Structure 1
């Protein structure tokens, strides 16, 4: 597929370009190769003495791509990318322009505008010139418009035919994007209506109350552009996830307008002043706001809905994001199951928030569920919590309680036609060992509510004249609430009280028992709640999240220890948590036990 780019395009937001972008980079790091944009030649990275930028895009939009041999893809660029120039606007950037010719064209344009006002016809092409070219020519024009002298992008700067060099460069892509001035994200799906005035939207407009037709138009344009980004190919690819998280700043370059990533815009989406899909708004805001604050559950939530040409990249791209926790060896010759299991095992040994997942909502479209026979504790059977989570466990405690058993077993459920990683169906079946953990046994109970009761109508303060919209939980986890328990409660939770509890932002002062919500990926008569508390940063001092497991029926097969399966989380909210960073279950119940678990 091919892109269309309108040159000299406006910024969607007034005063949106970060004023703190430095003229000279304070980083000494340079990629091995860069592209010099004046002639689009590949040059040594050291030539860019003042710094460089990076490009982020989906290969689907760089030309024609066809499946080739051995899982590889063949790429052809037939020069069908379109660059659209506005006639008589910034002609200084065009080559071979003559002043006299420019004056004539301006006069002709003025005449056409006069005819249009009188009722005459004027088409888009009357004011624009379309030139077709290859991908490199389009990128050259983009760099000219954004005053970029050197840029890095994989198509040119990674030698695709040198395996050793390719693997080495992939392994340090996090450094490449971290040390760039900013990243240019190509979003050809994003556009504004033709004739829409540029730089008319301000910060205030994104948050302001709708009072007139102009305000409605401003909001609708911004909403459309954010939806365009949220539904773009760029937001569906795995490598672009790493590039977005690693980048300091991003400019989303659309067909005829661009938008710098700013928390005000994305936060406006989550606050409701911009009426866009909840999942899209939380994704855009989360990727921007948490680019320097990451937890395993947060990254995996976004990674598990993305696709990649090579399934090995699910480990290699994510390994770059978690470069501070692990050292991932890029080797496409290793069996896929080995690569994936090693990645998840290395990750959970450093970050137990991998266990923080629940039942996926209908809007959450996983691309990994059912594709790989991974252990339950990886969370591929559900959806991870959307917030960045933290734990009070120290490194020494982690070493004492967690161990990964990387054993090789016979996999009787595997389909050899689709997966030939090992002979004789031998496959790594990594088991998670959690030692000396406090827990309570609980019986999940279905809510005495119908689905419609989980939301209530309310007036959005940003749209006082608009229709009622649905109210979401104040501490929305991004998962579906499925059950509750009464093991911690001193009195039964009634229907009306449950509804009130669900919409409270914080517990009512004086509440003497916690509120308990479960998000489980499957039904069970009894579950075990592990005393491993995780908190949502500083957002909810009254709340904690706990992993939930159930015992596995072993069908008469004897094993050295009982086996368990990760099935979700407990959302636990109580005023007591204001006073203690890690209150024990024993503060709420006497039925606390201690044991060790082998989770498969």
Structure 2
């Protein structure tokens, strides 16, 4: 596949460039190698005395040049389009210059005044295994210390005939004295610009760049990002992406593009894993190595592609959950969440690979010393894939780490299905630009997972399942100040589950909510076997009056609080 870039083209999106780019911190760190853009030669990183930039791209677009066969194919398409009178492409207005990937990058760097740039295809010696592993292990430092990252999005473009960059978001509205929006000036121009802005964001959401695991790590580690399309670019600024949901772009995309790499020191394991599990990678080992770079402050991941895949992944998840129990915070995935890891790997249930982690950054309500007393990982191996004709047992051992949670409070609950269909879980929405009344799924304090059940065990005045009508549903969506409600999102059905008293907070996003992991007992053949459990989802518990001041114990809502220890597999 190939990439196309229009040199130095005016962009609708130039207004999104930060007024002042973040100045590189006083760090003397430099990558081992950099590319000097004046001649595209690989040089020592120490040569870049004034800093460098980094490149983020999908390798699929860096191989082939624009061959004669491709050129002839595009020529036939262009002629057919002219015959039918179809809309023109930006390729119709430019003479295509056949170049190698390095020459294209050189032109991009020239347009953005970049003297030195780092990208893995050249700056990592692919033939030196030791050097390659060492450089991969410190990629977080490489992207953290760059001025900014250039993300190549060849799928993104704007219509060639659109040249007007005069209308800005600030000029799009006329405000009254009290600050409310009253009217829109230059409505046609504003609408045209909004439509193109929306198209660019959708182009990014459907790009290969947003589907790859390594680009996730690169985006999170970068201080600033500029998305460079075929003939347009935009900077990854809060002003742009905080409004993405208001111009028809899914809020999930907004969080992916902006919040993932903003204030990254506050990110929880659950928040990162949600995005990582939805991405693909050429080498499955990179699921541990790329994420190890993201969580470099919590663990030290040894890059070794010679180790068995399941051992590498098990070690990663075990190391991570010892530092951050929010790994347990996952539920049933919505249809639009497409997991790339589910069903591929034989990993324990507590890793959450059979569901979808919650979309918000979570903070544990337990103290560090409490966590150390509660959690323990038992790293062990079991024969999992042995066949009768296998002589080498070692190659067939599958590492299955067990999660031990000791002396923890919990309640036993009976999950109850909602009696209403999914279509009832919507709210009216008035489009501010054309005043049309639409409906959209319930989003307030949305975890990004599907609500599957509710429980009455934490409700002071339990409501019977058969009497739960529309009035009760409305009270759940907008509960009263003193009325606690309890949603469940479970990845599988069960008659009874255990809700663990391991509370997680969503902070200022929803100060009255807490998230709790949910487990269930596993059926075993032997009567003498110790009981085992599976992680199957989460409970979202909301009670405004209580959570605004403190964390309530389960005993505040029910007398049936128990204490026990669990082995989760």
Give your verdict on TM over 0.5: yes
Offset at residue 286 of structure 1 (A) = 3.2
1:244 aligns with 2:219: yes
Q: Distance in 2 between matches of 1:167 and 1:244?
A: 20
**Aligned match for 2:148, one of 174, 179, 182:** 182
Output the CA distance in 1 between the equivalents of 2:42 and 2:560. 67
- For the 8 Å contact 1:262–1:288, the answer to whether it is kept is no
Deviation at 1:9, TM superposition (A): 2.3
Measured in 2, the distance between the counterparts of 1:396 and 1:440 equals: 23
CA gap 1:14/1:256 in 2 versus in 1, 3 angstroms: closer
How much does 1:576 deviate?
Answer: 3.6
- Counterpart position of 1:479: 449
Q: Post-superposition shift, 1:262?
A: 0.9
Which residue is 1:235 aligned to? Answer: 210
Shift of 1:192: 0.7
Say whether 1:434 aligns with 2:405: yes
1:196 aligns with 2:167: no
Is contact 1:535-1:544 (8 Å) kept? Answer: yes
Task: Determine the C-alpha separation between the residues in 1 that align with 2:184 and 2:387.
Answer: 57
Match of 2:459 in 1: 489
Contact 1:355 1:378 in 2 (8 A): yes
Partner residue, 1:552: 522
Match of 2:100 among 134, 137, 140: 134
SS in 2 for 1:487: coil
What corresponds to 1:508 in structure 2? 480
What CA deviation, in whole Å up to 9, does each residue of 1:296-315 have, x standing for no partner?
00000000010001000000
> 1:21 matched to which residue of 2?
21
Question: Could you tell me how far apart the structure 2 residues matched to 1:221 and 1:361 are?
Answer: 29
Q: CA separation in 2, counterparts of 1:224 and 1:123? A: 15
Map of 2:345 onto structure 1: 372
State how far apart, in whole Å, the 2-side matches of 1:368 and 1:518 are.
23
Q: Distance in 1 between matches of 2:260 and 2:141?
A: 18
Specify the SS of the correspondent of 2:96: strand
* Alignment match of 2:309 (pick from 333, 336, 360): 336
Structure-2 residue corresponding to 1:9: 9
User: C-alpha distance in 2, partners of 1:420/1:384?
Assistant: 39
Shift in Å at residue 263 of structure 1? 1.1
Residue 455 of structure 1, CA deviation: 1.1
Contact 1:355–1:377 (Cα < 8 Å) also in 2:
yes
Structure 1 residue 444, shift from structure 2 partner: 0.2
1:224 to 2:199 alignment: yes
CA deviation map 1:383-419 (0-9, x unaligned): 000000001222222211100000111215x8999x9
Matching residue within 365, 368, 383 for 1:392: 365
Instruction: Give the corresponding residue for 1:572.
Output: 541
CA distance in 1, matches of 2:120, 2:206: 23
Q: 1:542 to 1:80 in 2, by over 3 A?
A: farther
Matched residue SS, 1:349: helix
Q: Distance in 1 between matches of 2:15 and 2:387?
A: 56
Matches within 5 A, 1:507-546: 507-509=479-481, 511=482, 513-546=483-516
CA offsets per residue over residues 349-396 of structure 1, 9 Å max, x none?
Answer: 000000000000000000000000000000000000000000122222
| Native 8 Å contact 2:133 2:304 kept in 1 | yes
1:463 to 412, 433, 449: 433
Cα offset, 1:255, TM superposition: 0.6
Q: Indicate conservation of the 8 Å contact 2:349/2:536, yes or no.
A: yes
- Rate the CA distance shift 1:502–1:253 in 2: closer, same or farther, 3 A: farther
Deviation, 1:124, is: 6.4
Per-residue deviation at 1:467? 4.0
1:249–1:496 distance in 2 versus 1, CA, 3 Å: same
State the shift of 1:488 in Å.
Answer: 1.2
Question: What is the distance in 2 between the residues matched to 1:126 and 1:595?
Answer: 70
How far does residue 428 in structure 1 lie from its aligned partner after superposition? 1.1
Contact 1:484 1:517 in 2 (8 A): yes
Pairs aligned (count): 541
What's the CA shift string for 1:63-83, capped at 9, x where partnerless? Answer: 14xxxxxxxxxxxx5778999
| Structure 1 residue 542: Cα displacement | 0.4
Q: Contact 1:355–1:379 at 8 Å: present in 2 too?
A: yes
Q: 1:522 to 1:23 in 2, by over 3 A?
A: closer
Deviation at 1:289, TM superposition (A): 4.0
Whole-angstrom distance in 2 between the partners of 1:533 and 1:421: 45
Would you say 1:348 and 2:321 are equivalent positions? yes
C-alpha contact (below 8 Å) 1:335/1:421 kept by paired residues: no
SS at match of 1:437: strand
Residue 256 of structure 1 is aligned with which of 212, 231, 240?
A: 231
Contact 2:24 2:145 in 1 (8 A): no
**Superimposed CA distance per residue, residues 552-574 of structure 1 (whole angstroms, 9 cap, x where no aligned partner):** 00123632x21000000000000
Tell me how far 1:489 sits from its aligned partner: 1.2
In 1: Cα distance, 2:235 partner to 2:393 partner? 47
Structure 1 residues 204-213 or 343-352, which shifts more? Answer: 204-213
Asked if the contact 1:431/1:599 (under 8 Å) is kept, the reply is yes
Alpha-carbon RMSD:
2.7
Say if 1:520 and 1:569, in contact at 8 Å, map to a contact too.
Answer: yes
Task: Out of 22-31 and 159-168, give the one that drifted further.
Answer: 22-31
Structure 2 partner of 1:269: 244
Q: Aligned residue for 1:95? A: none
Any residues of structure 2 matched to 1:47-126 within 5 Å, and which? 47-64=47-64
